[in-house]
Copies of this chain bind each other. A is one copy, B any other.
């Protein structure tokens, strides 16, 4: 029996950012697998089975979902944002590669979603207007040295940088270290966007100069966008938060 598994990106929270393709995949699923708060975003209907888990042990959750699909169920694995960006899709494929040979016969699809940095950028203007990088600050899955090497390379080459998973109770110091490293390469007035819970009722977005950012201003639900040397602010006449954007032009304009 050939099952089906779709890894679905719900977007950052606002249901108006959930794509119709993702909605369709949710509507046809027999089983939902995912972190509890993500499952809570999917409306209930008769016959839909929910398998909530906590936010850790993603590989166990992936194996559970594949096992369920291999029995013929139509399984939807739900992620916030985009499932391919620091979320469940890579865990699913890792489980496929190292798991039951029969899992390779499952019809596995990925439905893209709006990832946090795109939503955060849209809220403030166009800070990702130039070349940019996305880095997860979590050192649960890679050595901290790797994070530092990549962050240093990115700021030295003047990329805009989006930091995912900046801080958590178990990882309290990494964001502070990262900001210190950034300050070695970027000026104190470099624009920083701290975008928390974008698209959710408790959304909070702050635009600060690098020298005014403290790691305690971020939490697990925050994405941090670090401007390049060219990233600029535009004041608004009503003194509300400025626009932040990175010009497409770089270097001397002819």
- Chain A interface residues toward B at CB < 8 A: 11, 14-21, 24, 58, 82-86, 89-94, 96-97, 101, 104-105, 108-115, 118-119, 121-123, 125-136, 141-143, 146, 149-150, 152-154, 156-159, 232, 234-238, 243, 245-252
In chain B, what residue has the closest Cβ to A94?
B247
Name the one of B83, B96, B150 contacting A243, with C-beta atoms under 8 angstroms. B96
Distance A104 CA – B241 CA, assembled complex (angstroms): 12
A-B contact pairs, 15 of them (CB 8 A): A15-B20, A17-B21, A20-B20, A84-B122, A85-B118, A89-B245, A90-B246, A93-B125, A101-B237, A105-B236, A113-B118, A130-B142, A146-B250, A146-B251, A153-B154
The number of times this chain is found in the oligomer is: 2
Given known pairs A84-B122, A96-B243, A118-B84, the reply for A133 and B131 (CB within 8 Å) is yes
Given known pairs A154-B157, A234-B96, the reply for A136 and B131 (CB within 8 Å) is yes
Given known pairs A11-B19, A122-B110, A125-B93, the reply for A153 and B142 (CB within 8 Å) is no
Given known pairs A119-B112, A134-B131, the reply for A248 and B17 (CB within 8 Å) is no
Distance A137 CA – B176 CA, assembled complex (angstroms): 33
Whether the Cβ atoms of A142 and B251 lie closer than 8 Å is yes
Whether the Cβ atoms of B110 and A236 lie closer than 8 Å is no
Whether the Cβ atoms of B110 and A112 lie closer than 8 Å is no
Name the one of B16, B18, B58, B111 contacting A122, with C-beta atoms under 8 angstroms. B111
| Residues in chain B near residue A84, CB distance under 8 A | 118, 121-122, 126-129
Whether the Cβ atoms of A118 and B121 lie closer than 8 Å is no
CB distance from A4 to the nearest CB of B (A): 14
CB distance from A166 to the nearest CB of B (A): 14
Whether the Cβ atoms of A16 and B19 lie closer than 8 Å is yes
CB distance from A234 to the nearest CB of B (A): 5
| Residues in chain B near residue A101, CB distance under 8 A | 237
Whether the Cβ atoms of A16 and B11 lie closer than 8 Å is no
